[in-house]
Chain A
C-alpha cells in the first residue's frame, strides 16, 4: 500500500447524516471486478440520472468540487452494508481522506485497508466545515496525518483523531495482512491451546 502523504486538495462537503454505503456504491455494481475501477460508480445514483446524465444538483457535479480528494461528511458516514466496494469507489475516484464525526464500523476498517484516511472530528467542527466549504470559491484543505491536523485556507489548523496503530500503518504503507502473517507462530500456538481446551471446535 502507498504510504499516506499530507494532502492539500479540494474538499467536498456531503450533506446529511447516516449516509449509507448503498448511497456511496449501489449494490448492483458490486458484481463487477475491480480491474476496470470503481470510481465511476461512486455515489452513482446521486451523481447521474437514469439516462446516465449528470445531475447538476449533486455536489460532485459542481465545477468547484469535481476534482475533490477530500470528503467531509456527517455523523455515521458509511453505515449499513459491509461492502468494501464503497471504499474502492472512493479510492478509485481519487478520494484520499474522509472527514466525519463518526463512521460505520465496517466502512471505517475498509477505508484503512485501502489506504483511505478516515479522520474523526467533533460534530460541531464537521458541520461548520461543511458550511464553510460551500461558501469558498476555492474550497481546499490540507490533511496532515503525521500532525493529525486539518488546515483550512486561512491557515487555521484543527485536530482529528486516528488510533496510533492505524496511523502508523497508513504513514508507512504497512499491509495489515502481511503484519498478521508475521504472527503465524503465535496463531499456531493459540490453535494448539484451543484444540486442547475446546476440542469440539476443530
Chain B
C-alpha cells in the first residue's frame, strides 16, 4: 500500500512514523491513521456517552489508558472532597466508564495516579515510533519520547475508541533548530517561551514540529517533555524529538516498556527513527540558544513573553490588531507599558501542570526555596503520585513546607482550574503552567508564565524576579 515515491525519497522522522500508520491512503485530504495508544481523562465522558448512543464498543482496550487528572481534588484523595457535586459526579462517571469497558485506568486513589502527560512517559506507556492521541491539546508532550502525539476532540475520541483510528491530513513539516549552550538559570520552559515569543502563537499552525540541534540533544527527557508540551502554544499540530540514547536510558526498565527480547527488538526499531539528512521541511527556523534569558509572560497569550530583565512593551509601537490585542491584554493584566518586569508584584504562585511538575522541575524550585520563606501563598502540585513519592524521598517536600509552600497531591489543579483549585478574581499568579489566557486560572485571574525556579523566586520575593540574582533574595539556610 505504501507508495514507492514516498519510501524511496528522503523522509523526515515524522514522515517515517506517519508512513507506518496510514491504514487507508487517499490521494488528498485526510488519511485513515492508526493510533497505537489512546489516552483519556475524566473529561472524556462525552465520548463515552457518544459511544453508548451509537451502540459501539471499545475496540482495543489494551491500547487505551485512563487518567484521572483534570477534576481530581489535590488536598486529599477523596472524591467527596470535589468542589461540588457535579465534579464529584464527573469523577464517579470516569470510574464507571473505564470499569465497564475494561480500560486500565489510574483513578484518584491509585499509587500511579497523575497527569496523563506526566504518567504516560513516566511509566513507559508512551514510546518512540507510536501514534498517541488524547482529549487534551497538550498531548504534544509525548512527542519528547519520539512519538507522533496530538490532541483530539470528543467525537474523534469516539472514533479512536471504536476503530483505533483517526482521520488526519498529513500536517506540513517544520523544524526548529536550537543550538548553543544554555546560560545559567535558563530552563526548558525558557527555551519554549523564547521560541513562542519569536514565532508567535500561530507560528506553527498546521505544522508538525521537529525540535533538533545541539541544545535539544543535550536536554534530558523531562526537559524535552516541557518543550514538546508547549508546541500547541505555537499552534503546532505536534512536536517531536528524535529518540536517542537519552530516550532509551529513560525508558529502560519502566513498567510498561518492552522487556527482555522485546526490548531488544524495540530498540532495533527505535534506532531507525531518525530523519534522513536530505529530508526537507516546509519551514525551518534556527535559534541561538545561548542568547535565551529566563522568560516571563506579560499578556494573555503565551507569545506575550519577554526576558525577565525586560519591560512591559509599548502597544503604541505596534499596529492594527496586534496593537488593540496588546492594549486589551494590558488592561486585563492591570499593567502599564514600560514597567520593568521585576517590579511586578504577585499575589500567589503555582508550581505544577503537565508542563512543569516533574521531579527535575521540583528540584529546581526547591533549590531556590531552600532556606527561604514564601512571601505569598504558594502551592506545589506534583505531576504524579510517583513524582510526589520521589520528591518526599529526596526531602523536597520538607524544603517546600519549611518555606511555607503548600505540598499537594497530583493533578492538573490550578492550570485548568476546574478541580476547586483556582486563582481568585483580580489576583496575579506566577505560574509554571502553559496558558495565560483570560480567565484560565479562574475568573478574572492574571497569569504570568515562567519556569519552576523563576516561580519559586517569585514566591520568596513576592514579585517577578530574576533567578540569576538569587543571591539577593535573602536568607539562605
Assembled-state Cα–Cα distance A190/B48 (Å): 25
**A18-B301, A23-B438, A32-B86 known; A165 and B155 CB under 8 Å?**
no
* 0/1 interface trace, chain A 178-191, chain B, CB 8 Å (1 if under): 01110110110011
Pick 11 A–B contacts, CB within 8 A, sort by A.
A18-B202, A26-B443, A28-B418, A45-B438, A82-B139, A127-B321, A163-B28, A165-B30, A181-B163, A186-B32, A200-B262
Q: How many residues of A contact B (CB 8 A)?
A: 58
**A17-B202, A109-B153 known; A82 and B418 CB under 8 Å?**
no
Assembled-state Cα–Cα distance A171/B291 (Å): 51
**A16-B321, A82-B137 known; A183 and B202 CB under 8 Å?**
no
CB distance B437 to A34 under 8 Å?
no
Assembled-state Cα–Cα distance A184/B163 (Å): 7
CB distance A113 to B202 under 8 Å?
no
Q: Please name the residue on chain A nearest to B45 by beta carbon.
A: A33
CB distance A109 to B321 under 8 Å?
no
Assembled-state Cα–Cα distance A190/B325 (Å): 48
Instruction: For the A-B complex with A105-B206, A177-B155, A200-B265 known, give 6 more contacts whose Cβ atoms are closer than 8 Å.
Output: A27-B416, A27-B417, A76-B201, A177-B54, A187-B23, A191-B164
CB distance B155 to A114 under 8 Å?
yes
Find chain B residues with CB under 8 A from A181 CB.
Answer: 56, 162-163
Assembled-state Cα–Cα distance A61/B159 (Å): 37
CB distance B201 to A113 under 8 Å?
no
In-complex Cβ contact of A82 among B136, B324, B443 (8 A): B136
Find chain A residues with CB under 8 A from B153 CB.
Answer: 82-84, 87, 106, 109-110, 113
> Does any Cβ of A come within 8 Å of B266's Cβ?
yes
In-complex Cβ contact of A198 among B86, B269, B417 (8 A): B269
Considering only residues 165-181 of chain B, those with a C-beta below 8 Å from chain A are 165, 167, 169, 171
Assembled-state Cα–Cα distance A118/B437 (Å): 23
Q: Please name the residue on chain A nearest to B158 by beta carbon.
A: A177
CB distance B156 to A165 under 8 Å?
no
**A27-B417, A184-B163 known; A84 and B438 CB under 8 Å?**
no
CB distance B43 to A30 under 8 Å?
yes
The 10 residue pairs across chains A and B that have the minimum distance between CB atoms? A165-B29, A113-B155, A76-B202, A84-B153, A200-B262, A200-B258, A82-B151, A110-B153, A84-B154, A82-B137
Assembled-state Cα–Cα distance A31/B41 (Å): 12
Q: Please name the residue on chain A nearest to B133 by beta carbon.
A: A82
Find chain A residues with CB under 8 A from B151 CB.
Answer: 82, 106
**A23-B437, A31-B87 known; A84 and B155 CB under 8 Å?**
yes
**A27-B418, A102-B202 known; A186 and B28 CB under 8 Å?**
no
Q: How many Å from the CB of A92 to the closest CB on chain B?
A: 13
> Does any Cβ of A come within 8 Å of B62's Cβ?
yes
Assembled-state Cα–Cα distance A109/B258 (Å): 34
